[in-house]
DNA sequence: ACCGAGGGCGACCAACGGACGGTGCCCAA
DNA sequence: TTGGGCACCGTCCGTTGGTCGCCCTCGGT
């Protein structure tokens, strides 16, 4: 599956540049280290606990519907959310940031320039319970492609929908057009984000930075 | 002594603006709460420990000589350091930041735009043992005045030296010209820092931001 | 020789950016 | 009706920005 999605994205890139991504890239920069490798037998890392105490009932909200790959303009059916909605969440975060900034200035406090923990907290307290940090960080680079080259972003969505790929595969594929854009901009991915009015409030994802670095290294061996 | 230094700085300000600072400002925004106020009897805050273990000997470096108020160009005599040297430390930090940035870019890592913990660590590891975070943060606003209005900064130094004031008093006095500059710039102290090539790598000190906020509040009651 | 004022900076802390992976949902069979 | 693959997001972690105040130093007596 990894290899398949890698092939796909190489395909996507073909008409905009010449480089080969397969054989490094995603595979070289694991984002979860899906290899079990070897169970480090004596590790004492405590388990993350979710299971609620018996008798204690926290009235827990059901989780949001998962995203599916949708074309631009297409509404997701059933218990799913579409990608237009995903991108709208980023716009909502931008609005919440503006509010946090206004409040901070009013009170003479430090004024954030990025979407910080404080902004997520503000969003949650103001009813946007469906926004949370891990989710937003997970798809930042997808939103970045949407902002920087909506044509290519739309094309990718249609392609992946047509093929019946899942969200994970589409998400992976979004990296490669971005790396190509970075190449065309002297590998300054930070600058690319900062120059875009909507993107500049988001941190550059670690993995995107790493992918750019790896590709650049391959260029001048 | 607080009141004395407040009087002094009001005096300094007289030919550049009209506002009264006394009665709020420093006294309203304690930077250490020099008042004993009342000993919170039952507080359990643990004591900070310095005393080395008996028998354990860490070869501890002697602390740096304290700063004294010197005129521009004047070398401190005896076991003291002058203010030109203090300001030079800020320039050194700027150089260390440039190095950290170069290394980060080379390795494709996050690239700091400000003097961060990482920069202080880098400085220390590269022999600048005399640089440390609390010291640099303590005098940032003094350096800011030096960068933004060297004339006024020099004037203040000469005045305070002449009067035999100690470093603490001079340091306090540095706030007020900065507040005046902020007023002339629509209270955008963040922007004032960011627009100055040397200053923009330093965080705006909390207390300076608070002073600006308080003065602005008094303007439109 | 001693003392008190002054201030340098080690060490602390809440909160941060960042990441992982358990849990529960959903769909295909 | 069941099973397994997927992904949402609670929760953790190393480090940060920010600060406090202990204790050393040194000039005055």
Q: Are B166 and B66 in contact (CB under 8 A)?
A: no
Is A110 within 8 Å of B209 when comparing Cβ atoms?
A: yes
Percent of chain B at pLDDT exceeding 90:
71
Residues of chain B positioned with their CB less than 8 A from the CB of A204: 110
- In B14-166, which residue ranges form alpha helices assigned H by DSSP? 25-28, 83-107, 117-125, 133-138, 140-148, 150-162
- Domains along chain B? 64-219 (1.10.4180.10)
Quote the pLDDT of residue A123: 98
Greatest extent of chain A over all pairs of C-alpha atoms, in Å: 62
Condensed to tens digits (0 to 9), the pLDDT of residues A127-169 reads: 999 999 999 999 999 999 999 999 999 999 999 999 999 999 9
For residues B170 and A56, give the distance between their C-alpha atoms in angstroms, rounded to a whole number.
59
Q: Which residues contact A186 (CB under 8 A, 6 or more apart)?
A: none
So what's the pLDDT on residue B29?
A: 57
pLDDT for the residue A185:
98
- Angle separating helix axes B140-148 and B150-162, nearest 10 degrees: 120
Per-residue pLDDT, averaged over A12-24, amounts to: 37
Q: Which two tokens stand for residue B82?
A: 């002058």
Average pLDDT, stretch B103-112?
Answer: 98
Across the range A3-29, mean pLDDT stands at 38
Q: Chain B residues with CB-CB distance to A under 8 A?
A: 107-111, 190, 204, 206, 209-210, 212-214, 216
Average pLDDT, chain B: 82
Q: Nearest-CA residue of chain B relative to A188?
A: B105
Q: How confident is the model over A77-114, as pLDDT tens digits?
A: 999 999 999 999 999 999 999 999 999 999 999 999 99
Q: Token digits for A93?
A: 């975060």
pLDDT digits 0-9 by tens, B202-220 = 999 999 999 999 999 998 7
Q: Which residues of B touch A213 (CB under 8 A)?
A: 107-108
The residue of chain A with its CA nearest to that of B209 is: A108
Q: How far apart are CA A60 and CA A86, in angstroms?
A: 23
Give the C-alpha separation, A113 to B113, whole Å: 13
Backbone angles phi, psi at B5, to 5 degrees: -70, -30
Lowest mean pLDDT among A21-35, A143-157, A162-176, B8-22: B8-22
């Amino acid at each position: 599956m990894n290899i398949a999605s890698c092939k796909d994205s190489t395909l996507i890139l073909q008409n905009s540049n010449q480089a080969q991504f397969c054989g490094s890239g995603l595979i070289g920069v694991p984002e979860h280290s899906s290899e079990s490798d070897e169970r480090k037998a004596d590790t004492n890392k405590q388990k993350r606990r979710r299971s609620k105490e018996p008798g204690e009932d926290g009235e827990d909200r059901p989780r949001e519907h998962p995203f599916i790959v949708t074309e631009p303009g297409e509404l997701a059916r059933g218990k799913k959310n579409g990608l237009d909605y995903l991108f709208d969440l980023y716009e909502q975060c931008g609005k919440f940031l503006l509010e946090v900034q206004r409040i901070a200035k009013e009170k003479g406090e430090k004024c954030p320039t990025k979407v910080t923990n404080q902004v997520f907290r503000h969003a949650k307290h103001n009813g946007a319970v469906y926004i949370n940090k891990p989710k937003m960080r997970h798809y930042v680079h997808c939103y970045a492609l949407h902002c920087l080259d909506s044509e290519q972003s739309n094309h990718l969505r249609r392609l992946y929908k047509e093929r019946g790929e899942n969200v994970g595969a589409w998400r992976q594929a979004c990296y490669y057009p971005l790396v190509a854009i970075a190449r065309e901009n002297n590998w300054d991915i930070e600058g690319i984000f900062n120059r875009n009015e909507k993107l500049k409030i988001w941190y550059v994802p670690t993995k995107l930075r790493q992918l750019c670095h790896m590709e650049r290294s391959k260029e001048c061996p």
